[in-house]
Amino acid sequence: MTDVTLTINGEERSASVPPETSLLRLLRDEFYLTGSKLGCDVGDCGACTVIVDGMPVNACLMLAGQVDGRDVVTIEGLATLEDLHPIQKAFEEFASLQCGFCGPGVIISAKGLLDRNPDPTKEEIKDALSGNLCRCTGYTKMIEAVQDAARILRGEKEAA
């Protein structure tokens, strides 16, 4: 068994798991954080995207042991009891999601981008979302929502 202690959404958590356990399985099966989705489990679809030490990664491609001592942000870490995160709000306002399965991964990828680059171009947004497959939407409304959320996070626009 591998002992792991990590920070998830600001809270220190520990688990003891078999060494082959992926970060995704750790999050979903040990901590019941099922917002990160298990899609392809081989790094193609991006539905499991989480932020590790500030960078978006596919949680299915990382071993639980690799995140020992590191900082992980999942989709559950974005909203507060009072309010959605500005990116989540923008996705709602722009009807950016349809079936929604890709949503947690897409929103986490967008957060990873905006944390590093608060004023991205449309091409930079497309690039940041390119690891997240979406079958329903054609991505257009997601890109518009990320642009809008960026304006709100930069303080250029009031949140709706």
* Contact footprint for another protein (CB under 8 A): 40, 42, 44-45, 95, 97-100, 125-127, 129-143
Nearer to another protein, 3 or 127 (CB): 127
Min dist. Cβ of residue 40 to another protein (A): 5
Residue 73 tokens, joined: 């942000």
Residue with smaller CB distance to another protein, 43 or 65: 43
- Identify whether the C-beta of residue 100 lies closer than 8 Å to the C-beta of residue 106: no
Residue 20 sits at the vertex; the CA angle it makes with 25 and 40, to the nearest 5 degrees, is 50
- Looking only at the bridges linking them, the beta strands covering 2-8 and 11-17 are antiparallel
Residue nearer to another protein on the CB measure, 77 or 112 = 112
Nearer to another protein, 119 or 127 (CB): 127
Instruction: Tell me how many degrees the CA angle 8-82-95 measures, rounded to the nearest 5.
Output: 90
Least distance to another protein from the beta carbon of 103, Å?
A: 10
Q: How far apart are CA 4 and CA 148, in angstroms?
A: 38
159: nearest Cα among 84, 57, 107: 84
Give the separation between CA 91 and CA 144, rounded to whole angstroms. Answer: 9
What is the nearest approach in angstroms of another protein to the Cβ of residue 121?
13
Nearest to 132 by CA among 91, 94, 160: 91
Residue 56 CB, shortest distance to another protein, in Å, is: 14
- Complex with another protein: residue 78 or 129, whichever CB lies closer: 129
The least distance separating another protein from the CB of residue 127, rounded to whole angstroms, comes to 7
